[in-house]
Amino acid sequence: METRDYIELADRNFIHTYNRFQVVLEKGDGVYLYDTDGKKYLDFGAGIAVFAFGYNNKEFNDAVKNQIDNIIHTSNLFYNIPASLASDKIIRATGFDKVFFTNSGAEAIEGALKLAKRYAYNKKGKGEYEIIAMNHSFHGRTIGALSVTGNEHYREPFLPLMDGVKFAEFNNIDSVKELVNDKTCAIIMETVQGEGGIYPVTDEFIKGVREICDKNDIVMISDEIQCGMGRTGKLYAFENYGIKPDVFTTAKALGCGVPVGAFVANKKVSDALKPGDHGTTYGGNPLACAAVSKVYDMFTESNILDYVKEISLYLESELDKIVNECTYIKERRGMGLMQGLVIEENRPVGEIVKRAMDNGLIVLSAGGNVLRMVPPLIISKENVDEMTDKLRRSL
């Protein structure tokens, strides 16, 4: 079959929820992807912040292959070795108390919301408990996750959503204080807003939210699905601020391509859910958890976090040069290897992304007018130089 045949086959059979590039990707190696026509792409999207250690990593591939030869799936009516090991590595690395494995980031959000509601129910009894979320946030496309996503574009076609959600302004602590009442059971936010336009939380705001939650016994939930797993130079982005949430969600690079997510809770709230309150068929199965276990090994056995801090400084400096050169780029913002270039709104970001693809560079968009870069954590200075060369031609 030729490239066009694969595209026509997919268009004929898929429900049309994606406007895809007319490219069929076939294989990857390191920080490069290759399509069925043999064209090579420098990937600064990493499968949307998924492939932390790049493509075709032998150490990771071997761990997944070895697990396939043992056992791929058992139900959660039984224990399995990879899930036990992976859970212990997460708890040891983060200092939290308990973990629940899911299949995706959206499912991790759903579980975190249920955990917060159950905590309030256990404490106060039956009640219509409320959640405070942030405008311009993105937490996923399932009904619960969509209910706390602060973007009407995503929400409007699916109303009514989950009741009891109020939206505050991100990085405006007074807007949060105005919404808190005795029904508030949780405050949820991304540590770095991703789809909303690459906005890092301020030190004042995240510490202010932590203080509000402590004062009112409210569950603080940090969405670390895109900004976690080393992307900001810390294992999880909230570590940059010297605070801990009560619950955090993780996915994407957690499995480096194997579909898996998790919500992780501290001692205060971790036992709120009781047997029968929550469940999953595939979450925590041996194959997914073998991937998680190996990813945590690779993080702890390498200097990747220090390397991210170093290489991100070079990426920032090179992007700043482009901002200074290009009159229609307004600013750069982001943390670590989660960076965005803000484009004037009369210049279509989608056209820049398309031109970059033509020039063999994969970058993403976010927030309507932001060019987003979330490359593998292993990029080199040479990769950054190649990216900026291709980006300049695309701009």
For 140-178, how does the pLDDT look when each residue is reduced to its tens digit (9 = 90+)? 999 999 999 999 999 999 999 999 999 999 999 999 999
Q: Do 265 and 273 touch, CB atoms closer than 8 A?
A: no
* Domain co-membership, 258 together with 199: yes
pLDDT at 346 over 90: no
pLDDT of residue 345: 86
Where among 301, 317, 338 does a domain terminate? 301
Q: How many domains does the chain contain in total?
A: 2
Are 142 and 224 contained in the same domain? yes
Digit-coded pLDDT (tens) for 297-339: 999 999 999 999 999 999 999 999 999 999 999 999 999 999 9
Residue 357: CATH number of its domain: 3.90.1150.10
Domain's final residue, options 250, 266, 301: 301
Predicted confidence (pLDDT) per residue in 1-15, tens digit: 999 999 999 999 999
For 122, the token pair is 């256990």
Q: What is the pLDDT of residue 358?
A: 97
Range of the domain at 163: 71-301
> How high is the pLDDT of residue 166?
98
Share of the chain above pLDDT 70, in %: 100
The whole-number pLDDT of residue 127 equals 87
